[in-house]
Amino acid sequence: QKGGYDTFMLKEIHEQPYAIAETLRGRVEGTDRIILPELDAIHDKFKTFNKAYFVACGTAYHACLSGANILERLTGIPTFTQVASEFRYCDPIVDEKTMCVFVSQSGETADTMAALRLAKEKGCTTIAVANVLGSSISREADHTIYTCAGPEIAVASTKAYTTQLIVLLLLGMYISQALGNENEDYKRIIEGIASLPQHIENILKDEKTFEHYASYLKDLKDTYYIGRSLDYATVLEGALKLKEVSYVHADAYIAGELKHGPIALIEQGSLVIAVATQPNIAAKTISNIQETIARGANVILFTIDGQEVGNVKETYILPDVDPILQSVLVAVPLQLIAYYAAGLKGCDVDKPRNLAKSVTVE
C-alpha cells in the first residue's frame, strides 16, 4: 500500500512528478494554450469581474496565496485571499462581479463549504479546485477544476498542495488568455509548466541533501522561515509542514517585516530557512538574511543562480524556470525537511497528534 516507502507521506512526496503530470494532462496545448473545458461556459464572463477572492483553509489557503498573486500578476484583476473561517463571518464585500475560488483537497472542509455557500448567496461566480471527485464542495460550486493528485492518505498535505498550485497557475493563465493578454512571457511560462515534473524528479534525487538540512533542527524548539512575495506563501507552507509533523515550532515571516519585531528572537544558533527565488526582490531578502547572520543565525537558503550569499550554512540552487513557477519546486525540499525532522524526533508523520485528514466540523 505504501509502495515500498516507510510512510504515506514519503510516498506522496515522491508521487509529485506523476501527480503534476496527471494534473497537466490535456490542459496544456503545445506552447500556446491552456485548455480548461470546465470554464468554457464562462470564458466570456471573465471580462466582467472586477475582483477575485481565493478562499480555503490550511495548506489549501497557502496555495490560494500563490494562486492569487499569480492571477493578479497575469490579469491585473484585483485579487484578495481570505481564510475560509474568516470569510464566512466577515461580511465580505463581494457580488455578481466577483469570482470566488475555493480550494480544498477533500472537498468536505466545513468552513470552506460555508464560505462557498455565502459567496453563492451573494451572487458571486464560484469555482472550486478539489481533489476528491464528487465531493460536496465540487458539487456545490458553479464550476469545478480537479487536481489529479490521486488519494492523499497522509494527514500532512503534500501532492495535493503542489497540484493545487498547478491548477491555480493554469487558472491564472486561462483567464489571462480569455482576456486576450497572451505575450512572449506567456509562451515561456507554458514551456516551463511542462518541465515541472522533470525538475521535481531531479530535486527528489537530492533527498539526502534535505535530510542533512533537517539535521539542523534536531535540538531546536523554534525555526524561522522567511521570504517575500510568492516566496512568502511558500515559507508559510514550509513552516506549517514542519509544525504539523515534527512539532517543532516554526514561524514564517515576510522578510521585510523582520526588523519590525521578529528579529528580536534571533540569537546565536537560531535556524533561519530562507527562500529567495523572485529575481525582482531576491536582493532585498538576501540583505535580511545578512541581518540574521549578523545576530548569530544559521541560514539554509533556497535561491536561484546568481543570488548566492556568503556566510550561509547551506545554499540550494533551484532550477532556472520562470519565477511564477518556483513555488511548486521549492515546496518539495521544504516538505522533505519537515519529513526528516519529524523522523529525527520520532514522530508518527502519517498521523500527527490532534489532527484529522478532513475537517468536517467548524
Of residues 55, 94, 119, 156, which one binds ligand F6R by CB under 6 A? 156
Binding flag, residue 106, ligand F6R (CB under 6 A)? yes
Of residues 12, 22, 231, 244, which one binds ligand F6R by CB under 6 A? 244
Residue nearest ligand F6R (C-beta atom): 58
Name every residue whose Cβ is closer than 8 Å to that of residue 207 and which is 6 or more positions away in sequence. Answer: 336
- Give the count of residues interacting with ligand F6R (CB under 6 A): 14
* Contact in structure between 50 and 76 (CB atoms under 8 Å): no
Question: Left if phi > 0, otherwise alpha if psi is -120 to 50, otherwise beta: which for 9?
Answer: alpha
- Is 259 part of the annotated catalytic residue set? no
Of residues 8, 10, 19, 58, which one binds ligand F6R by CB under 6 A? 58
3-state class (DSSP) for residue 110: helix
* Contact in structure between 13 and 332 (CB atoms under 8 Å): yes
Cβ of 194: how many Cβ atoms within 10 Å? 14
> Within 122-246, where are the H helices?
136-140, 159-178, 184-204, 207-214, 230-246
Write b or e for each residue in 70-96: b if 16 or more Cβ atoms lie within 10 A of its Cβ, otherwise e. bbebbbebebbbbbbbebbeeebebee
Binding flag, residue 81, ligand F6R (CB under 6 A)? no
Residue whose CB is less far from ligand F6R, 22 or 111: 111
Contacts of the segment 160-163: beta carbons below 8 A, 24+ positions apart? 160/59, 160/60, 160/105, 160/131, 161/59, 161/60, 161/62, 161/63, 161/237, 161/331, 162/16, 162/19, 162/20, 162/200, 162/328, 162/331, 162/332, 163/16, 163/19, 163/20, 163/22, 163/23, 163/131
Q: How far is the CB of 129 from ligand F6R (least distance, A)?
A: 9
Of residues 69, 82, 109, 278, which one binds ligand F6R by CB under 6 A? 109
Of residues 98, 112, 278, 327, which one binds ligand F6R by CB under 6 A? 112
Residue whose CB is less far from ligand F6R, 90 or 356: 356
Catalytic residue among 45, 345, 351, 357: 357
Of residues 60, 149, 203, 300, which one binds ligand F6R by CB under 6 A? 60
Instruction: Identify residues 125-154 at the interface with ligand F6R (CB under 6 A).
Output: none
Of residues 16, 66, 105, 176, which one binds ligand F6R by CB under 6 A? 105
> Which listed range, 12-20, 103-111, 179-187, 339-347, lies at the site for ligand F6R (CB under 6 A)?
103-111
- What secondary structure does DSSP assign to 247-308, as a single string? --EEEEEEGGGGGGTGGGG--TT-EEEEEE--TTTHHHHHHHHHHHHHTT-EEEEEEETT--
Q: How far is the CB of 106 from ligand F6R (least distance, A)?
A: 3
Of residues 7, 16, 59, 303, which one binds ligand F6R by CB under 6 A? 59
3-state class (DSSP) for residue 310: coil
Residue whose CB is less far from ligand F6R, 144 or 298: 144
> Which listed range, 20-28, 56-64, 91-99, 291-299, lies at the site for ligand F6R (CB under 6 A)?
56-64
Sketch the per residue contact string, 157 through 196, with ligand F6R: x for CB under 6 A, - otherwise. Answer: x---------------------------------------
Calpha distance 200→208 (Å, rounded):
15
* Cell numbers placing 48: 466582467
Residue whose CB is less far from ligand F6R, 115 or 266: 115
Helix (H) or strand (E) holding 29: strand 28-29
226 beta partners: 253, 274
Q: How far is the CB of 309 from ligand F6R (least distance, A)?
A: 30
Residue whose CB is less far from ligand F6R, 12 or 22: 12
Binding flag, residue 359, ligand F6R (CB under 6 A)? yes
> Which listed range, 54-62, 191-199, 210-218, 334-342, lies at the site for ligand F6R (CB under 6 A)?
54-62
Q: Which residues bind ligand F6R (CB under 6 A)?
A: 57-60, 104-106, 109, 112, 156-157, 244, 358-359
Catalytic residues, which ones? 357
